Amino acid sequence: MRREEARKRAEELVSQMTLMEKASQLRYDSPAIPRLNIPAYNWWNESLHGVARAGVATIFPQAIGLAATFDESLLKDVGSVIALEGRAKYNASSELGDRDIYKGLTFWAPNVNIFRDPRWGRGHETYGEDPYLSSRLGVAYIQGLQGDGDTMKAAACAKHFAVHSGPEAIRHEFDACVSQKDLRETYLPAFQACVQEADVESVMGAYNRVNGEPCCGSPTLLREILRDEWGFQGHVVSDCWAIKDFHENHMVTGTPIQSAALAIDSGCDLNCGVTYLHLLQAYEEGLVTEEQITESAIRLFTTRFRLGLFEGSEYDTVPYTMIECKEHLELSERAARESIVLLKNNGILPLKQEKIQTIGVIGPNADSRASLIGNYHGTSSEYITMLEGIRRYVGEDTRILYSEGSHLFKDRIESIALENDRLSEARAVAKNSDVVILCLGLDETLEGEEGDTGNSYASGDKLDLLLPESQRRLMEAVAMEGKPTILCLLAGSDIDMSYAAEKFDAILTMWYPGSRGGSAAADILFGKYSPSGKLPITFYESLEELPDFEDYSMKGRTYRYMEHKAQYPFGYGLTYAEFEANSMRIEEQEESVTVYVDVKNLSEVDSEDVLQIYIRNQESEWETLNPHLAAFQRISLKGGEESTVKVLVDKGCFTVVDENGNRVRDGKKYEIFAGFSQPDERSVELTGKALVRMQYEICE
């Protein structure tokens, strides 16, 4: 049912409710209204990378890994699969009268916040540091999840609106002070695209304040920008228990009654929490009108009608057997392969199994399920860890030796043993192996949401860019044996790889690759597929070059504004092939610019890679410090193959944002770059290839 018809039906239904009934529907755990045949509905469900927290479902790579694919069509397919599995689970549970949390069709994903600081524990839930990449992948995911039929497959939610990326420890009281330029240039574009291009059904407010206004009660964000300026037609939901922060932490109101009134007056329709239990009292005190409560109820029932929850839809027959079916698992494994980023390779990769008799697999993430799944995850019926994936790939022809090597972060594995109780075993494994695969990194206990899963670092944020000391000691122990070593990093953020780059032969960033991640990793390690992922974030040399964590200015942050060389830059990633961009030409249309790039695979290896287009205004004082991503396209070339790739660049990419937050056309002369990395000096050092560049003057 399209939105216009759904709203009419919602208005008719809500008109039959009492004020108390209408107010009751503005809670995330909306109760049943039997006299109107309205069943209970719990709005809270999660799906960052698969249906989460409700039992078995296909687990895809965590969002940061999906971002590393630079693959819009893949994100759309992933969203579609999640919606179908959500329907299968909803159909089964609702048939049995189970309408509990995490069993509805309103998914609170994607997270399109900007990963502006590598310390932020929730950064791996996002699509990285670039507003353009985040917008393209967010739109694709939403389109896949919601579908394009008369009935929505599932409802997506763009979160957390807005200017939200840590610190986690103080998020309930923090005021993110941001300039109008940074707000419009960096923090809002992905949300705007989700609203205006993808017609996202829901937007979730953030915990923090922005320039003094709490996000879930911000007239500026929710009324002026989201609804009046962008024309948002869906519903707004608070982050969970965020509205009580108004009076308990932000101190902008004095009572829960006032907090409920501020939230609904600003445009927050649905309360994840309990503060809207005070709405009727706010009404009696004249702080809230019945019309406001009615409007929010209509918006929420419009969503339920669009999902076909009252009159049925074609999705009511999606069978339970759709969950973790062969096609979905294959898509998850493909996504994991595309997400893997090769940071270093001295020629050791791909491994040639016929030349190896013994492989040493070492590290706390070698046989760890937790390192596969990130956070906000579902449950898999089968987990293929790194160790298991390598073992399955090589079969009985190659001997596997294994050592955990160290605890993930503690100084010993056995509580009554001495410190470093597995280092000697790790050295023995390395000594007796032809090649070592060292699996290090983090998991959701070391980076994640504040208070989630009992984070070992309390807030969920990282203290620095280093691996835990236990793993640094393990690296040193393995390096002492001098064996060919490949480091596989399973983590969701920037980790200092300087020691590994110096001591080891290859480095692969695996992210949190999903339940079948070990199988995908083995395919890459042994050359069944060539790696093709790109970094959606910057790997910095140190935190010293960054502003304070609490500083939301973009100066010095991300590849667009950084002033130093990166350790590994945004957009960087090697393959087993050698792709080259030779030349390009440009054609201008009314709404876009078409860039034609001549590319060639100079090697004999078939591979995929990501062609990237960067631009920089040469005349405007408001342009970003460094060239910024304007388009990208994943391509595939056989060994020796040549091709001309056509890439569309929206003319909006040729605008700048001034100090007042206005997006304007300022100047006509641009430099355009095309290649398989960004055009920074460090990328050229690492790849040995400069990008094709040309001067371009845009027509008015």
User: What pLDDT, on the 0 to 100 scale, is given for residue 1?
Assistant: 83
Task: Give pLDDT, residue 700.
Answer: 64
Can you tell me the distance from the alpha carbon of 437 to that of 426, in angstroms, rounded to the nearest whole number? 11
Distance CA 638, CA 83 (A): 34
pLDDT at 457 > cutoff 80: no
Query: Could you confirm whether 239 is annotated as catalytic?
Result: yes
What integer pLDDT is reported at residue 514 of this predicted model?
A: 98
> Residue range 66-87: average pLDDT?
98
Q: Check whether 445 has a pLDDT greater than 60.
A: yes
459, pLDDT greater than 90: no
CA distances, 224 to each of 186, 218, 443, 663 (Å) = 18, 9, 39, 17
Active-site residue among 447, 449, 450, 623?
447
Q: Which residue has the higher pLDDT, 662 or 150?
A: 662
Q: Where does the pLDDT of residue 699 fall: very low under 50, low under 70, confident under 90, or very high at 90 and above? A: confident
Round to whole Å and give the CA distance between 20 and 312. Answer: 27
Q: What is the pLDDT of residues 485-531, one digit of tens each?
A: 999 999 999 999 999 999 999 999 999 999 999 999 999 999 999 99
With tokens 């918006």, the residue in question is 299
Classify the C-alpha dihedral 534-538-542-543 as positive or negative: negative
Catalytic one of 117, 185, 201, 239:
239
Poorest-confidence range of 120-129, 140-149, 258-267, 456-465? 456-465
Q: To 10 degrees, the CA torsion angle through 553, 558, 563, 568?
A: 160
Task: Please tell me the predicted confidence (pLDDT) of residue 456.
Answer: 56
Check residue 570 and give its pLDDT. Answer: 98
Q: Which two tokens stand for residue 508?
A: 């692969």
Residue 200 C-alpha from the chain's centroid: 16
Quick check: 63 pLDDT over 60? Answer: yes
Q: Is 447 a catalytic residue?
A: yes
What pLDDT, in 10s, does the model give residues 188-230? 999 999 999 999 999 999 999 999 999 999 999 999 999 999 9
Q: What is the mean pLDDT of residues 659-687?
A: 97
- Position 453 scores a pLDDT of 55
d(CA 346, CA 155): 46
Residue range 25-44: mean pLDDT, rounded: 98
144 has a pLDDT exceeding 90 = yes
pLDDT for position 59: 98
Per-chain mean pLDDT for the chain: 97
Enumerate residues 6+ apart whose C-beta is below 8 A from 26.
Answer: 264, 269, 270, 271, 276, 279, 293, 296, 297, 300
Using alpha carbons, select from 375, 468, 441, 352 the residue that is nearest to residue 53: 375
| 535 pLDDT more than 60 | yes
Q: Could you give the percent of the chain with pLDDT greater than 70?
A: 99
Query: Does position 452 have pLDDT exceeding 80, yes or no?
Result: no
Confidence of residue 455 (pLDDT cuts 50, 70, 90): low
Kindly report, residue by residue over 160-173, the tens digit of the pLDDT. 999 999 999 999 99
Assess contact for 543 and 465: CB atoms under 8 A. yes
Distance CA 595, CA 648 (A): 6
Question: What does the DSSP assignment read for 618-640?
Answer: SS-TTS-SS-EEEEEEEEEE-TT
**Tens-place pLDDT, residues 610-633:** 999 999 999 999 999 999 999 999
pLDDT at 450 (0 to 100): 83
Asked if the model's pLDDT at residue 698 lies above 90, the reply is: no
Residue 196, pLDDT score: 98
pLDDT value at residue 377: 97
Closest by CA position to 235, among listed 202, 262, 272: 202
- What local confidence, expressed as pLDDT, does residue 451 receive? 73
pTM tops 0.75, yes or no: yes
Q: What is the pLDDT of residue 190?
A: 98
CA dist 145 and 130 (Å) reads: 22
For residue 533, CA distances in Å to 2, 64, 342, 392 come to 37, 11, 7, 23
Q: Is the peptide bond before 160 cis (omega within 30 degrees of 0)?
A: yes
